[in-house]
Structure 1
Amino acid sequence: MSIPRHYVLAAGGTGGHMVPAAALAAELAARGHHVALVSDDRGVRFPGLFDEVQTHVLPAGRLAGGPIGWLRAGAKMLAGRTMAIELYRGFKPAAVIGFGGYPAFPALAAAFQMKLPTIIHEQNAVLGRVNRLVAGKVDAIATSYAEVQRLKPEHRAKARLVGNPVRESVLALRERPYPELDADGIFRVLVTGGSQGASVLSDVVPDGLAMLPVHFRRRLQVTHQARAEDIDRVRAQYATHAIPAEIATYLPDLPERLAWAHVVIARAGASTIAELTAAGRPAILVPLPSATDDHQTVNAREITEAGGARTIPQHLFTASELAKQMQKLGLDTLALANAARCARSCGRPLAARDLADLVENIDAPSLLNPSRVAA
């Protein structure tokens, strides 16, 4: 049994940062520790993730908008650091763990000033901006991929490969078999563009699926997450093509949808990749081209090279290209099941445990496993 300690988790307010932070919070709480979350207004209101965790909103500006914008951001970050110091004086954290995003910066800056142990976790295959800013000062860098771009050589000695923690409900899918699929059975497709949806998927997927051979198209059953402004149009497209489809802006039962999906068509965000590899689901991935440092393309590389996914750059993502890739992936049931196994082979199901181990042992570097050093 671990000695109960206090830990502060600091994360930006997007799902990519909040989901792994929530998974770590749950693991630390299960070990008897006390956890506080520092984030922005979005993060503390994230549905269902931090209901049992005390939360704090700190001001944090985004470094954008030229010199005036930088000055405003700097002022907010200084105010956030001051508030974090006051929080730490009362909460007395054993360590502060950052998950990226600008709201994490003031919390880490306060920890540096108070000489508290610090860890950052990087969800993507490219080190994010805030994590790059603080990488030289933190005690350890937890990574989700064996190879992480933008990680300086002098910082690699303190990098540890742990993976990207996912929710327990997703991790549980690892114990469930890939859904059986016979030649005449229903073929279930899940389309998801992350927490905000993706208009390009709504533009292309219905027409791409309509181009499949008739015997394949008639077997389709689709769940499609779409932006609110796209829903009516997408629903009409599927109806025109006589493809059964459920359209929604938010899928609260996403783990169950993932459980029954034979193929997932998605962006390549860090949480999406982590969930696909945890569950073992084949995918067609369309990386977001505007993602910082094109990190979604890099995220998709491991699962694609392993044979668990096919990646289509957005500028090549057309209805005909989607139909072609769907046929290659979906018409051979043995190949499809093999792709599911390949996706599963990329999963790191012990990510929450390994990250919690790193957090607990941050004051004892000799206890860290050197075999987890990222390349």
Structure 2
Amino acid sequence: MTGASRHYVLAAGGTGGHLIPAFALAAELHQRGHHVALVTDGRGAKLPGKPDFLPAHVIPAGKLGKNPLHWPKAIASILEGRRMALRLFESFQPSAVIGFGGYPVFPALLAAGSAGIPSLVHEQNAVLGRVNRFFAGRVDAIATAYPEIARLSAKHADKVHLIGNPVRAQVLDLRDQPFPAFTSEGLLRVLVTGGSQGARVLSEVVPDGLAMLPPALRQRLQVTQQCRAEDLDAVRARYRSHDIPAELGTYFEDMASRLADAHLFIGRAGASTIAELTAVGRPAILVPLPIATDDHQAANTREIVKAGGARMIRQDKFTAKELAKQIQALAQRPETLATAAHAAWNCGRPKAVQDLADLVESFGGADLMDVIRVGEGTPAAPAREALA
């Protein structure tokens, strides 16, 4: 800890993508002796994993959509949320307000600006989110997860700090363990997930893609796949018809241990997923969610694909034949898979939560640039399309 105990407010939307890094930072700051409060919406207050010590304050936050007819109601909600945040700040006296994206961040950061409280945002994806984009010129620092960030103006480069995405402690504990032994005769363990609800396209394509592998490789498969509840029976039947052993479920509590055993991951490209793959060092075939805002999941794959740790397939190209082709290219020789695993591992930023806490602690204490120790002093670069 860099100084006396201080107070910090974290603001995040009610999804796991926003709240998981917020919870990780809260735990780190709490361990360093600080007091932390959370501003979120109704979903976020109930999300599993919230630390017991972290009080959640639910505030209204309207969403300014494309229909102007809805704007007056949304603006009224934002202003009410701002008033509630100001009352919280008057009693809690935070040294800084940290936003993690999502609409509840909007009134909290507006209130921080009105009250003269330092603020910063953390962007989990490789595209600056809409709320973070709005406040980029107003906050004191921008913490990023990737070296290149689309929709980030070059004029804000001096306030950008490459941090990474915090990951769960049980996953981070796996970083120093070797890649599971994979030989030309041994099992090929494949882990397939599609986010918290499972992706239907994975359920439809992956079993048939695995069945198209050469017999010598197909016979060594051992699959673990997360599916939607309504897809379980159909996926189980597909694997049975292909004579491929597969363990299926809608949710796996021991996902960290399954990731530890996996030789290959197939799934979506959310920020938390890629953070965990790079923390542990697991090769992947990534299928970005095509409806993700600003196509941010595809952008998230840029670094790990360029490094050789993953392959990306657009959903409209994600066929059984293409999947089999990519798996065969990775797993036909053991050294190819091991090399990809090491490339993914090299993209990991295991000190993300400590570096983010260091950045946060720099507010209310010594001068910012005197104490910050993140990203080896190298700011994240705006993506090329953002410089045009």
Same fold at TM > 0.5: yes
1:1-375 aligned within 5 A: 1=1, 2-64=3-65, 66-363=67-364, 364-367=367-370, 368=372, 371-375=377-381
Whole-Å Cα distance in 2 between the matches of residues 46 and 78 of structure 1?
A: 25
Q: Which moved more, 1:258-267 or 1:83-92?
A: 83-92
The residue type paired with residue 289 of structure 2 is L
Superposed CA offset, 1:232-261 (max 9, x none): 222221122121212222222211111111
Conservation of the 8 A alpha-carbon contact between 1:44 and 1:50? no
Q: Which moved more, 1:37-46 or 1:126-135?
A: 37-46
Q: Which moved more, 1:235-244 or 1:198-207?
A: 235-244
Conservation of the 8 A alpha-carbon contact between 2:95 and 2:363? no
Q: Quote how far apart the aligned CAs of 1:13 are.
A: 1.3
Q: Quote how far apart the aligned CAs of 1:45 are.
A: 1.6
The residue type paired with residue 311 of structure 1 is M
Q: Which moved more, 1:67-76 or 1:279-288?
A: 67-76
Identity among equivalent pairs (%): 62
The residue type paired with residue 244 of structure 1 is P
Whole-Å Cα distance in 1 between the matches of residues 156 and 14 of structure 2?
A: 26
The residue type paired with residue 21 of structure 1 is A
The residue type paired with residue 373 of structure 1 is P
Conservation of the 8 A alpha-carbon contact between 2:39 and 2:108? yes
5+ residue gaps, structure 2, are 382-388
Matched residue SS, 1:174: coil
Q: Quote how far apart the aligned CAs of 1:91 are.
A: 1.4
Aligned residues: 375
Q: Quote how far apart the aligned CAs of 1:228 are.
A: 2.3
The residue type paired with residue 18 of structure 2 is H
Aligned CA distance change for structure 1 residues 52 and 254 (closer, same or farther; 3 Å) = farther
Q: Quote how far apart the aligned CAs of 1:20 are.
A: 1.0
The residue type paired with residue 32 of structure 1 is G
The residue type paired with residue 194 of structure 2 is G
Conservation of the 8 A alpha-carbon contact between 1:120 and 1:140? yes
The residue type paired with residue 149 of structure 1 is A
Aligned CA distance change for structure 1 residues 12 and 315 (closer, same or farther; 3 Å) = same
RMSD: 1.4
Superposed CA offset, 1:204-255 (max 9, x none): 1111111111221121111111122222222221122121212222222211
Whole-Å Cα distance in 2 between the matches of residues 111 and 156 of structure 1?
A: 22
Whole-Å Cα distance in 1 between the matches of residues 235 and 105 of structure 2?
A: 37
Superposed CA offset, 1:59-87 (max 9, x none): 11222251122222212111111111111
Whole-Å Cα distance in 2 between the matches of residues 262 and 78 of structure 1?
A: 50
Q: Quote how far apart the aligned CAs of 1:289 are.
A: 1.4
Matched residue SS, 2:164: coil
Matched residue SS, 2:301: helix
Whole-Å Cα distance in 2 between the matches of residues 228 and 166 of structure 1?
A: 27
Aligned CA distance change for structure 1 residues 28 and 298 (closer, same or farther; 3 Å) = same
Q: Quote how far apart the aligned CAs of 1:191 are.
A: 0.7
Conservation of the 8 A alpha-carbon contact between 1:139 and 1:362? no
The residue type paired with residue 339 of structure 2 is N
TM-score by length of 1: 0.97
TM-score by length of 2: 0.94
Whole-Å Cα distance in 1 between the matches of residues 230 and 61 of structure 2?
A: 30
5+ residue gaps, structure 1, are none
Q: Which moved more, 1:340-349 or 1:235-244?
A: 235-244
The residue type paired with residue 116 of structure 2 is K
Q: Quote how far apart the aligned CAs of 1:158 are.
A: 0.5
Matched residue SS, 2:174: helix
Whole-Å Cα distance in 1 between the matches of residues 251 and 63 of structure 2?
A: 27
